[in-house]
Amino acid sequence: MTTDLDAAIGAVVDGLRASTVRVHDAGGRGSGSGIVWNEQGLVLTNAHVVRGASATIETANGETRRARVVRRDDRRDLAALHVEHAAGFVAAPTRDSRTLVPGELVVAVGNPHGFVGAATAGLVHRCNARWVVADVRLAPGNSGGPLADAQGRVVGVNSMIANGLALAIPSALVQTFLGESERRIGVAVTPVRSSRSDHAYLVVEIEAGSIAERSGLQIGDTILGLEPHRFASVEALDILRGGYPSSVRLERAERSHAA
């Protein structure tokens, strides 16, 4: 019986290791862990792991790749990174954390103290809208790594230790964070005058991996006819490019779904 359980947990850990990366802050301020959230290069980690605008991602097989922070929320301690060359990435399956119950077995994988792919297991103490609390042992370097159920489905992003217990950000909160990110088109704009519209905004910056970049929006384009708070509700933008009117259809990425 024990041998069967050990084998099952070992298989879960192997799967999680394939979807767990090391995240090195570009400013040299430390490192932590991250979760491959989809195979298009989206990696989730803690905001406190990546302080700047970029990071280096180290995969399970030791390859390193550059990544840019495309969204962060310091209050929730979450950061989303985009890796341009994501070939070979294995996305972690997820589960809605709201279905967790106290006493469930959970497994954490990360890179504590530089030990790559270290694993620890424990039981869920409680789960609410802010934290999944479990008695798994975490250490510096685990931050940003996955907390998963007995089937290897991610239910949280490990964040900190309090009173000897692990606190992970629930997957339901991560989905909210990503949903907000998906509603943002990913541009910085500045108001400009235009004879074609009372509301015109010059695009001065475009986030890597954003809806705007995927849709072909360019720095220097002028977005016409929209209030800023209405940007999230449209499927296409009327623009001026090089002084000539055009239209850009917003290409929204598929969202991750809870298993």
**Which residues are catalytically annotated?**
48, 77, 143
Answer for the pair 69, 50: CB distance below 8 angstroms, yes or no.
Answer: yes
The CA distance from 216 to 97, in Å, is 36
Residues in contact with 163: Cβ distance below 8 Å, sequence separation at least 6, in sequence order: none
Element containing residue 72 per DSSP (H, E): strand 64-73
Measured at the CA of 37, the angle between CA 146 and CA 111, to 5 degrees, comes to 35
Residue 232's alpha-carbon distances to 204, 214, 238, in angstroms, are 18, 15, 14
Comparing C-alpha atoms, which of 154, 160, 169, 174 is closest to residue 16?
154
| Bridge partners, 196 (sequence order) | none
| Bridge partners, 132 (sequence order) | 127, 168
State phi, psi for 112 to the nearest 5 degrees.
Answer: -70, 130
Comparing C-alpha atoms, which of 189, 180, 178, 183 is closest to residue 250?
183
